[in-house]
Amino acid sequence: MWPAAILLAASLLASLSAVAAHTDHGGIVVGDYVVALSPSVYVVGRNSTVYVLIDYSSNMTEASGLEVYARLITPDGSEVFSEKLKEIPPGIYYFNYLFGEAGDYTLRVRIEDTDASLTLSVVSAGEQASLEGIVIVVVGLVVLASVALYVRRMRRRELE
């Protein structure tokens, strides 16, 4: 019971930390935008929230108020999801989905007249156990990076 609870808490913390550390999130440049996913690995049979992080490529600020649509393609090429994404400002768009099979899914994101294609990995519940240690390490690194960014911003403000 405890390992499952720890994994759930770690997964939630990883998602929240990654979304909170929206700036400098990496991703791919498409047109006027930088687009990234958070997280990029999901588990079969678990209702998951997929976050699409969108920044303007010119100044890396969050892109809010956009019309963002997504289509999810399974590993065998079937389209299983297609709709407008909801937004959690600033620049974080999301949808919920229950993944039915393991493999690499393609997420096609349309931002106004710009298209992006991203890959998300879905693992079976058996593979989830091996990810538990990795998730905890990643959560620790994300929290550490978030604290470092906060300290950096505070120092910049002190110098101004």
Confidence (pTM): 0.65
User: What are the structural domain ranges in the chain?
Assistant: 2-159
The bridge status of strand 33-38 relative to strand 47-56 is antiparallel
pLDDT of residue 33: 94
CA–CA gap between residue 132 and residue 149 (Å, rounded): 26
2-159 architecture in CATH? Sandwich (2.60)
The answer to whether 102 and 44 have CB atoms below 8 angstroms apart is: yes
Alpha carbons within 13 angstroms on the beta-carbon side of residue 15 total 14
Of 38, 58, 55, 43, the residue nearest 107 (C-alpha):
38
- Examine the pLDDT at 80 and tell me if it is beyond 90: yes
pLDDT at residue 135 in the model: 61
pLDDT of residue 44: 94
Closest CA to 114 of 49, 61, 63: 63
CA distances from 121 to 37, 48, 63, 104 (A): 11, 12, 25, 5
Q: From CA 148, how far away is CA 25, in angstroms rounded?
A: 14
SS3 9: helix
Predicted confidence at residue 34, as pLDDT, reads 94
Tens digits of residue pLDDT in 106-138: 999 999 889 999 999 999 987 654 555 566 666
Summarize pLDDT for 8-65 with one digit per residue, the tens.
Answer: 444 544 444 444 444 455 789 999 999 999 888 999 999 999 999 999 999 889 999 9
